[in-house]
Amino acid sequence: MDTAPKSVSPVYAAITARCPRCGKGPLFKNVLELRDACNHCGLNYRFIDTGDGPAVFGIFILGFLVCGAALYVEFTFEPPTWVHFLLWGIGTPLIALALLRFLKALLITLQYRNRAEEGRLADE
Ligand SMILES: [Zn+2]
């Protein structure tokens, strides 16, 4: 991995889903599928390995948000059950996708900036 400039903010790169090095090339082909390389600076994205990180953070954040919002709506407005099915049945997957995209881009940028990679023995 080459030198990591500190000019691209991880939050900016995550919100815009841009390259962790230049902050200009798109990171994803579609909603969550990564490109092979940055089409602006040529950074190869093969080093990326976020594993289950984005999903774990997403589950905790999404569970907290949706459960809190569902309880708030229920006890404040007391809507019929179909309103809950409509709100959370449609809202939860949409929020999950947006949150996963943001968290995946954030963890990729942090992995790049901090040069996080698998540990190796010194003589290898
Ligand atoms: Zn780039």
Distance 18 CA to ligand 1 centre (A): 7
pLDDT tens per residue, range 40-66: 999 998 888 888 889 999 999 999 999
Q: How many domains does the chain have?
A: 1
Q: Show the domain range for 52.
A: 10-114
Distance 28 CA to ligand 1 centre (A): 12
CB atoms within 10 A of CB 108: 26
Residue 31 lies in a domain: yes
**Pair of tokens at residue 41:** 């600076």
Residue 38 lies in a domain: yes
Residue 1 lies in a domain: no
Distance 39 CA to ligand 1 centre (A): 7
Q: Which of 91, 97, 34 is nearest to 65 (CA)?
A: 91
Identify whether the C-beta of residue 100 lies closer than 8 Å to the C-beta of residue 55. Answer: yes
Across residues 98-108, what is the average pLDDT? 94
Residue 74 lies in a domain: yes
Distance 118 CA to ligand 1 centre (A): 23
Report the amino acid identity of residue 24.
K
Residue 100 lies in a domain: yes
Distance 37 CA to ligand 1 centre (A): 8
Identify whether the C-beta of residue 48 lies closer than 8 Å to the C-beta of residue 63. Answer: no
What is the separation, in whole angstroms, between the first and last Cα of the chain? 16
Distance 20 CA to ligand 1 centre (A): 7
Residue 3 lies in a domain: no
Identify whether the C-beta of residue 50 lies closer than 8 Å to the C-beta of residue 107. Answer: yes
Most confident of the ranges 3-7, 48-52, 63-67, 113-117: 63-67
Distance 45 CA to ligand 1 centre (A): 10
